[in-house]
Amino acid sequence: MKRTLKKIVAILLATVIISASFAPAKEVKANTIKTPTTIRCGVGLKYYSYFSIRLSSAKDKVSKITVTKGGRKTSNLKVKKTYTRLYSSGTSYIGYNFYATKAGTYKIKLKIKKGSGGSTTRTIKVYAYGSGSLFKKVTINGKKVTNKYQTNYCYTTKKSGKVKFTLAPGCKITSIKVEKRNQNGDWKTTSFKNGRKVTFGKVGYCSSSNTSSNGYINQTEDKGFVANTEFIITYTDKSDLDSTAEHTAYFYVYKKATQWP
């Protein structure tokens, strides 16, 4: 039961599309806050991608936002202010929602007018594609199996295939592991090299229960229709403030179960 709950939680978490960090709930030390230099977003998905910047004074203001692609101004990336948070120390955070109407690489330039005089500019690179998710592309035998709405799982009828993961720009895979049920119903974990061939799981979930009625014992079995193969990807992301930190993501390949414990 615990294992099943773990899988469900992992799937729900993996489908959430987050392209940048929200402003923190409480203020932290100034030297730990940076404007992100690289962020991601989806194409045509208006409400999923956000970023925030820190201003050293409540008197500082973002006076101008310019979006370019290939050195030219463009309206294909939308940036909209969503909130301003002020703190007792005088610092503030400004949050923005952003999304693209066309795929590509963009730059957002924010001109900040200082309350003490003068101005400064901060530049953020934006990679826009598909859903903007971690998995830019996943292929089985060279055929793409993901799309804008199906980002961290796929279905297959194949017994095996060469699976290759292409992550978002700025992300780097450090290791991959594969988990699938063996004939006893236990989960078996092995290492996997990106692009190599793997045999997909064929053992489905199965549980049994006993009930008694009028002196008779009835045994029932609940057999899962699907067998799943879980890929556990460990990676680093340059868009994080700590670009060396390792993260974990999950990708699931589902196929019809042919065996049960």
Is 105 in contact with 125 (CB distance < 8 Å)?
yes
Q: pTM of this prediction?
A: 0.64
30-128 classified as CATH 2.60.40.1220: yes
According to the model, what pLDDT value does residue 247 have? 87
Distance CA 182, CA 180 (A): 7
On the question of a common fold for 2-15+133-256 and 30-128, the answer reads: yes
Give the model confidence (pLDDT) of 206-217 as tens digits: 766 666 666 665
Q: What is the pLDDT of residue 42?
A: 85
Give residue limits of the domains in the chain: 2-15+133-256, 30-128
Q: What is the pLDDT of residue 97?
A: 93
Closest residue by Cα to residue 237 from 138, 167, 151, 176: 167
Task: Tell me yes or no: is domain 2-15+133-256 CATH 3.30.420.
Answer: no
Mean pLDDT over all residues of the chain?
A: 82
* Ranges of the chain whose pLDDT falls below 50: 1-33
Cβ contacts of 12 within 8 Å, gap of 6 or more: none
The answer to whether 111 and 121 are in contact (CB under 8 A) is yes
**What is the per-residue pLDDT for 27?**
36
Q: What is the distance of C-alpha 115 from the center of its chain?
A: 37
Please give the single-letter amino acid code of residue 101.
T
Phi, psi of 64 (to 5 degrees): -160, 140
End-to-end, the C-alpha distance of the chain in Å comes to 16
Q: Which of 48, 10, 40 is nearest to 149 (CA)?
A: 48
Our measurement of the distance from residue 71's CA atom to the centroid of its chain's CA atoms, rounded to an integer in Å, reads 29
pLDDT value, residue 205:
81
46 φ, ψ to 5°?
A: -75, -30
* pLDDT, position 70: 95
What pLDDT is stored for residue 133 in this prediction?
A: 82
